[in-house]
């Protein structure tokens, strides 16, 4: 049950004046008058175990949790026509939050909230309801300390944000820049720049799901990965990327043999990006 959150409301017309929305969405959502934005925090306490995901994936898949919560909120507000949107939607959540005076974007391109720092997820409700909109002061919260920039092991923030160097992006992708994976410490996502942010104090411990502890032994025992990961945020990246991530960490920790890597290499030899990455890992073991 979500009890701690912050909320803001903006008019859809103000949002449209700020950002260009594709015509297909303008037509589909022509009935929308307001956007209600919610910031819902997750744990900013670090757990230590081999191996773990980023903090946003410590618990149950936030998409499902937030969607259920926002449906309840819509009923409480007696909204007649509305749609709940979480993560994948036509609304730029960071822009909407900024317009509502709920935060500003830091140098790591993450939204900073005075109350929650950067460790929170965003959900929105679009509705035909009209509200009295309070024009909030839009304060730039980034302290220009550059701690987030200095914290990134792949220098993804040195010249703006380069997602192709970002470990969070890489763990969810099939990149050929294998060397960039050498700095992984989490099997999914990355918290380096967030842990460095002065707004993030380690004081909010939200229930931890034991299924967040995942290693090669556990992965091998899973018969149906899709069913296992159904209620986890990492479910969408699929078994093969997850296996690659675990193998990267096993190699980094010198906890695997070349023969074991070759076993997985041959098992999935038809997937070139996977095969090539494991070839790189075999060479890493020989260094």
Sign of CA dihedral 166, 172, 177, 181: positive
Domain match, 193 and 117 both: no
Examine residue 122 and state whether it is found in any structural domain, yes or no: yes
Q: Which of 4, 61, 87, 195 is catalytic?
A: 87
Examine residue 274 and state whether it is found in any structural domain, yes or no: yes
Domain match, 110 and 42 both: yes
- Long-range interactions of 147-151: CB distance < 8 A, separation 24+: 147/196, 147/197, 147/198, 148/106, 148/107, 148/108, 148/193, 148/194, 148/196, 148/197, 149/107, 149/108, 149/193, 150/196, 151/192, 151/193, 151/195, 151/196
Helices (H), the chain: 12-18, 23-28, 62-76, 93-99, 147-151, 167-170, 192-196, 216-221, 225-228, 238-252, 258-267, 272-285
Examine residue 247 and state whether it is found in any structural domain, yes or no: yes
- The yes-or-no answer on residue 224 being catalytic is no
- Of the residues 127, 155, 172, the one at which a domain ends: 127
Q: How many residues in the chain?
A: 287
d(CA 90, CA 29): 10
Contact at 8 Å (CB) between 120 and 39? yes
Domain match, 108 and 161 both: no
Domain match, 116 and 152 both: no
Examine residue 24 and state whether it is found in any structural domain, yes or no: yes
Examine residue 206 and state whether it is found in any structural domain, yes or no: no
- Of the residues 68, 98, 127, the one at which a domain ends: 127
pLDDT tens across the length of the chain (287 residues): 788 999 999 999 999 999 988 888 888 999 999 999 999 999 999 988 778 999 999 999 999 999 999 999 999 999 999 999 998 889 999 999 999 999 999 999 999 999 999 999 999 999 999 998 877 778 899 998 999 999 999 999 999 999 999 999 999 999 999 999 999 999 999 999 999 999 998 888 888 888 899 999 999 999 899 999 999 999 999 999 999 999 999 999 999 999 999 999 999 999 999 999 999 999 999 87
Domain match, 123 and 156 both: no
Domain match, 63 and 187 both: no
d(CA 200, CA 103): 14
Domain match, 36 and 117 both: yes
Q: Domain of 96?
A: 6-127
Q: What is the count of structural domains for the chain? A: 2
Examine residue 207 and state whether it is found in any structural domain, yes or no: no
Examine residue 134 and state whether it is found in any structural domain, yes or no: no
Domain match, 174 and 239 both: yes
The residues near 73 (Cβ < 8 Å, ≥ 6 apart) are 36, 38, 125
Query: In whole angstroms, what separates CA 97 from the centre of its chain?
Result: 17
Report the pLDDT value the prediction gives residue 239, as an integer from 0 to 100.
Answer: 94
Structure tokens at 171: 């763990």
Domain match, 171 and 50 both: no
Contact at 8 Å (CB) between 178 and 103? no
Examine residue 47 and state whether it is found in any structural domain, yes or no: yes
- Residue in 136, 143, 99 with CA at minimum distance from that of residue 118: 143
């Amino acid at each position: 049950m979500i009890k701690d959150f912050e909320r803001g409301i903006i008019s859809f017309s103000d949002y449209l004046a700020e950002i260009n929305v594709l015509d297909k969405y303008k037509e589909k959502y022509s009935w929308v008058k307001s956007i209600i934005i919610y910031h819902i925090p997750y744990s900013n306490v670090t757990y230590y175990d081999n191996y773990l995901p980023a903090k946003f994936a410590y618990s149950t898949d936030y998409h499902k949790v937030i969607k259920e919560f926002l449906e309840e909120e819509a009923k409480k507000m007696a909204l007649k026509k509305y749609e709940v949107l979480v993560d994948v939607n036509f609304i730029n959540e960071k822009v909407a939050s900024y317009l509502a005076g709920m935060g500003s974007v830091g140098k790591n391109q993450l939204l900073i909230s005075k109350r929650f720092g950067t460790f929170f997820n965003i959900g929105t409700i679009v509705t035909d309801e009209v509200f009295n909109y309070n024009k909030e002061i839009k304060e730039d919260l980034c302290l220009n300390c550059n701690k987030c920039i200095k914290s990134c092991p792949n220098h993804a923030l040195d010249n703006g944000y380069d997602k192709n160097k970002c470990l969070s992006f890489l763990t969810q992708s099939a990149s050929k820049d294998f060397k960039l994976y050498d700095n992984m410490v989490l099997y999914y996502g990355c918290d380096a720049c967030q842990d460095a942010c002065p707004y993030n104090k380690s004081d909010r411990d939200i229930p931890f799901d034991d299924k967040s502890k995942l290693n090669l032994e556990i992965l091998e025992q899973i018969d149906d990965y899709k069913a296992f990961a159904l209620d986890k945020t990492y479910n969408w990246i699929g078994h093969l990327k997850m296996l690659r991530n675990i193998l990267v960490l096993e190699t980094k920790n010198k906890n695997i043999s070349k023969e074991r890597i070759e076993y997985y290499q041959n098992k999935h030899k038809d997937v070139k990006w996977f095969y090539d990455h494991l070839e790189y890992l075999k060479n890493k073991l020989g260094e």
